[in-house]
Structure 1
Amino acid sequence: MSIVITGTPGVGKHTIGKEFSQKSKLDIVDINEVAKKSGLFEKNDESNDVDVKKLQEIIKEKNLDRCIIIGHLAPYVLEKDKIDKVIVLRRSPYDLIQVYDERGYSHKKSKENASSEILGVITYDAKNQFQDKVIQINVTERSVQEVLEKVESVISGNIHSEEVDWLDLVTKNNDLKKFFID
């Protein structure tokens, strides 16, 4: 079984992936680590760009059976037929801004990532790539243990996708300018 854990930076992919790996005894394939080890990161302003086509070719050569694949690039480098389940972790953009501040992200990078989460870019791309294999889990205000229980329920087929609409929340809070306009 191959499980993907993806989502916007800062949602907890690595935390949940490592915890789930220990419980399930599945190995981890970290897409960012594969890209780094392959020399595919190119420093650009405040971010690292990746040659997705090259990374896709490298990932194709890896044995992805019985593992947890972690990374926000999953929808762009993985093939649908090699994946059993895709879990998209979602987190409130208000919480993400705090995470990005703690990580020392620039204001520009924080807004780009938070706005991507608001618009559900990775969720959209994951659904486009993996269709019915995608399940969303809202991790906002949930402990690691609670999220792990949700992940286990997803794997066992006992949970449906949680609908997440941060755009509606941000609009109701009249905060569109906070996330989309400088």
Structure 2
Amino acid sequence: MLIGITGTPGTGKTSVTVRLEEKPGYQVIHLNELIREEKLYSEVDSERDCIVADMDLVEQRVMEKVDIFSPVTILDSHLSHHIADIVIVLRVSPDKLRERLQQRNYFENKVQENLEAEALDVILFESVEWCDKVFEIDTTDQTIGETIADIEEILDALLKGRDEQVAAKYKPGSVDWSEDFFA
């Protein structure tokens, strides 16, 4: 099963996937790392301080790396919803997101761009548009362990063919930061 853990940069994707990687039964592919290391990008956008991934190359490389013996392969990236059919979107309040991005020394224009993307549900919207199944977790007041427990609850339900049991709890669109951000 190929699962994307996606969300705006700073929502906790890598923090949780690094811990999931230590558990048996999970293969984790960190897409941003893969893209940089294997130069799977078409250009460097210096104005936006980012690289532009060549998603066809990324998807091809991911499929080559998937371990068919692993019950779950997790793609960690704000781009993973472009490849996986099932995604878990991590969300965080704009205030907490600002703190995290500033701690990473993001330029202010990059912080603002990501805050707007989070407030406007950009990645959630893309995920719902592109993917068969989408789940949403608000990580704002959660520890990494609590977020992992939520993810494992979803994965367990999916593996047992009982995703309807978690569909309402993690329903896409249940998190809304627009009033907080645009007020």
Greater CA drift, 161-170 or 35-44: 35-44
Deviation at 1:39, TM superposition (A): 1.1
Relative to its length, the structure with more helix (as a share) is 1
Corresponding position of 2:176: 165
Q: Deviations over 1:119-155 (max 9, x none)?
A: 1111111111113x11000000111111111111111
Distance 1:24 1:164, change over 3 A: farther
Corresponding position of 2:160: none
Confirm or deny: 8 A CA contact 1:88 1:134 kept in the other structure. yes
Confirm or deny: 8 A CA contact 1:6 1:70 kept in the other structure. yes
Q: Deviations over 1:82-113 (max 9, x none)?
A: xxx41110011111111111111111000001
**Equivalent AA in structure 1 for residue 56 of structure 2:** K
Q: State the Cα RMSD in Å.
A: 1.9
Residue 78 of structure 2: which of 72, 75, 78 is its match?
72
Q: Deviations over 1:36-94 (max 9, x none)?
A: 12213433222222222332333343326432211111122x153xxxx4111001111
Separation (CA, whole Å) in 1 of partners of 2:28 and 2:56:
22
- The alignment covers a number of residue pairs equal to 166
Deviation at 1:25, TM superposition (A): 3.7
Corresponding position of 2:154: 154
Corresponding position of 2:61: 58
TM-score, structure 1 normalization: 0.82
Separation (CA, whole Å) in 2 of partners of 1:118 and 1:64:
35
Corresponding position of 1:7: 7
Confirm or deny: 8 A CA contact 1:4 1:68 kept in the other structure. yes
Unaligned 5+ segments in structure 2 are: 158-164
Corresponding position of 1:117: 118
Confirm or deny: 8 A CA contact 1:2 1:68 kept in the other structure. yes
Identity %: 28
Corresponding position of 2:103: 102
Confirm or deny: 8 A CA contact 2:7 2:78 kept in the other structure. yes
Confirm or deny: 8 A CA contact 1:2 1:64 kept in the other structure. no
Separation (CA, whole Å) in 1 of partners of 2:55 and 2:32:
11
Distance 1:69 1:79, change over 3 A: closer
Distance 1:5 1:125, change over 3 A: same
Deviation at 1:21, TM superposition (A): 2.3
Unaligned 5+ segments in structure 1 are: 175-182
**Equivalent AA in structure 1 for residue 53 of structure 2:** V
Greater CA drift, 59-68 or 115-124: 59-68
Distance 1:15 1:44, change over 3 A: same
